[in-house]
Homo-oligomer: A and B are copies of this chain.
Amino acid sequence: MFPKLDPLLHSELRLAVMSILAGVDEADFTYLKKQTEATAGNLSVQIDKLTTAGYIMVEKGFKGKMPRTTCRITPAGQEAFSKYVEALKEYLSASK
């Protein structure tokens, strides 16, 4: 009746990050920070977790002389996100 919710996605900030990445080709750290209004530390930690899980890929480079961290969703991440959305629907459609 109530499917298990992927704990990696059932987190406000990680879900926001995945939500953004699911809709774009790539997004860098500062963009994610602005959009989510998260602190840098929190974002850094959550990006690590998503990376370890294989849900996103991180590429580190430079934009001019400044460091730049670019994130991209992986196919596994896309699928996990879709599954999570489906699972969640079971919880939201109460009376059904």
In the bound complex, what is the Cα–Cα distance between A15 and B36 (angstroms)? 23
**Chain A binding surface, main DSSP class:** helix
Number of A residues with CB within 8 Å of any CB on chain B = 24
Chain B's closest residue to A18 (CB) is B94
B95 touches A85 (CB 8 A): no
Given contacts A2-B16, A16-B2, A36-B2, contact A88 B94 (CB under 8 A): no
Contacts of A2 in B (CB 8 A): 12, 16, 19, 35-37
Residues of A at the B interface (CB closer than 8 Å) are 1-2, 4-5, 10, 12, 15-16, 18-20, 22-23, 35-37, 81, 85, 88, 91-92, 94-96
